[in-house]
Structure formats: C-alpha cells, structure tokens
Amino acid sequence: MADLEDGDLLLLGLDALHEELGGKMVPFAGYRMPVQYPDGVMKEHLHTRTAAGLFDVSHMGQVILRPKGSMDDLKLAFETLMPVDVLGLGEGRQRYGMFTNDQGGILDDLMFTNRGDHLYVVVNASCKAADVAHMTAGMPGVSVEHITDRALLALQGPGAEAALDALLPGVAAMRFMDHRVFGDIWVSRSGYTGEDGFEISVSDAQAEGFARKLLAQPGVMPIGLGARDSLRLEAGLCLYGHDIDTTTSPVEANLVWAIQKARKAGGAREGGFPGAARILKELAEGPARLRVGLQPEGRAPMREGVELFAEDGTPVGRVTSGGFGPSVNGPIAMGYVARAHAATGTKLLGEVRGKRLPVTVCDLTFQPTTYKR
C-alpha cells in the first residue's frame, strides 16, 4: 500500500487504477477510496449478486503473529484477547473473532487464519493501529508484524470462483473459510457480502497487474464502498463503529455463533478473556438488548440514528445501519432493541423526520447467503 498522502488522506496502491476506471473517490477510514464507479451503486450491487465484483479493501490491516515458542502457545495467547476458540482452529482454516475489553465491549472484529507455523490476522482499517498495539501489549511472547506492503482484494459473487480459478488453478477446490497460499498470493474463501467469494492478499508490486487480470475475466466488474455497504447490510453483517463498538457485547450483537463451546461456561477453556464476567452472564441470562433485523413498511428507509418505539410510545432502541436493499427491492435496517421487543414479528415505530412510521422486527439476514460449504 502506498504511503503517499492526498491532503490528510492515505492513498491506496491502486489509486491510479480506480481513477482510470472512473471511480468517485471519497474519504473513508483515513483513506481515499472509490465509493462507486460510473455504473452506480445499484448496478454494482446487483452485478455482485449475479456475476462477480472486485473490491479494493487494502485499507484493512494485515498482521502476522509468530510464536516465540510453540504454535499452541501462540493460539492460547491469542485466546486471552477474545472469547473465541483459537486452539481448535485447524491448519489452512480461517475464523471470525472479536477483541473484547474489560467491560465486555467489542474493540474490533477480525478474521484470523492458522497458517501452520503462524497466524494471519485481518483487522478493520480504523482500528488497525490500536489493534497492533493491543496485540503487542497483550501477547508478550508473540512476534506481532504489521504488514504494510501488500494489497487486499475481495472478489465476490457467483462468478468469483471461475474468474479466480482461471488465474490461480486450484481455488475451486477450496470451501468457505479455507485458506491457501499460491506462491506469493494468499487466498481465503470468504468475504463480507453474503456471497461466495475470496479475499486475496497480493504484494504491492503485483497488485495492479493482478487486479487488471481479474477485471479482464468474463463478468468481473469493479465495485465501490457504496455497494459493499448495501451488500453486507442485506447479509445482516455488522459494520464496526456502527453496529458494534466498545459498548456492545458479542451477546447483545447477536454474535453468539462466534463464541465456541470451549470458551463458554462448562467448556474446556471457559472464560479467561477480557469482559468474561459480563459476556458469560449474558450468555446464561440473556442481554438487556439485542441486535435485530428491521423491515420498514413502505419505501422510506430508516437510517442510522433513527429512534425506535413500541406501539405504546415507549422508547425501545435505535437503528445502527439502514438503507435501501437493491436485491430485496425495499428498505432494510438493523439496530438494537430491548430484549422484550426483539422477537421476530414485533411491531415497532421508527421516527423519521418527526413522523413515527411502522417497522417490523425480522431476521437479520435479508438475502440468503451462498457460501460454498
């Protein structure tokens, strides 16, 4: 990634390519990034759902963790930072996790991979400096290396497998959350759109050439931040700093699926992570509030910050992400509501420009996922 600056914004290594492709560049997480290309957000979103979209996510943080002792020592050290089973992750496999604080809030969510003799971690752009410091301080027996000379691309959609397999034969055999190394190219079968796809780490020196080769494959189109956001919202996926933050616990955030049995009460390695008292208590008794899907009636979207009320006027929560879902052809949202009002089918009201409009609690996934299991 280039260490160049445009004013106060860092430039992606592929900045010139985005300009050439007609990208509309905007500030995001300290970087200058394409929010859309000439076809627009709607077409980019629908193209990803039906063909293949290429996203530049090089603003994300890439980190290598190496043990100074055994790999089990490294895994157990990493487990002290989050309520996730690291020890049980097999070689060549990736897992979702989250760092927690002493209050049980989420410092960041992340992906980590067992690469045999080390762990490869991908963290959010806005948190990466803090995350590197957190890992360095929290794991004194571990080498923490922040990788700054690699781009990260996401190829998503039903056409992703054929497009990438044409360049890297063998990726078609991978399954969801598999990770493989192809020479100097690191590939995970994952993404943040709800679609089948891949995240590809490639050296800065190779990045533009590799991106151009992908874009030359049938059905592959560049996709910006706008469609990335609407795609992840339809899939019910959290955006850090909006749907999850240092005040929300993994249980409140409806991320219990990411806490494996080994770390729960009665598990082989129960607790031992920051905020365990609150998180284990919420697992046992339920949280005071819960992240839910929200389906507004009509066509008016309910965006972040919209206050939610019970039908009798009692305040019960607020929207954390919302907008128009191109695949479902209507407004969708997610947010936190008091647990007594969190059941699917509950009727609520959202206040939009001074008017309280009907909204129904629904499942978090608005669009079926298509991961290759």
Residue 289 CB coordination number (10 Å):
21
What pLDDT score was predicted for residue 7? Answer: 61
Rounded Cα distance between 42 and 40, Å, is 6
Q: SS3 for 45?
A: helix
Q: Which residue ranges form the domains of the chain, and what is each CATH number?
A: 5-57+149-234 (3.30.1360.120), 288-373 (2.40.30.110)
Residue 349 to residues 290, 304, 312, Cα–Cα distance (Å): 17, 15, 9
The model carries a pTM of 0.96
> Which letter does DSSP use for residue 93 in this model?
B
pLDDT, average across residues 54-58: 98
Residue 349 in tokens: 């009201």
- Share the mean pLDDT of the chain: 97
The predicted-structure confidence for 268-290, as pLDDT tens digits, reads as follows 999 999 999 999 999 999 999 99
DSSP string, 256-315: GGGS-GGGSTTSTT---STTHHHHHHHHHH--SEEEEEEEESSS----TT-EEEETTS-E
- Amino acid residing at 207: A
Sign of CA dihedral 46, 50, 54, 60: positive
User: 3 pLDDT exceeds 80?
Assistant: no
**Residue that is written with structure tokens 């005071």 in the block:** 288
- pLDDT class for 344, splitting at 50, 70, 90? very high
Distance CA 336, CA 288 (A): 10
Q: How far is CA 177 from CA 102, 112, 238, 281, 284, in A?
A: 29, 10, 18, 30, 29
Instruction: Provide the pLDDT confidence category of residue 2 given band limits of 50, 70 and 90.
Output: very low
Place of tokens 């969190």: 342
Q: Percentage of the chain with pLDDT > 70?
A: 98
Angle, alpha carbons 9-111-99 (nearest 5°): 85
What does the pLDDT look like over 114-171, one tens digit per residue? 999 999 999 999 999 999 999 999 999 999 999 999 999 999 999 999 999 999 999 9
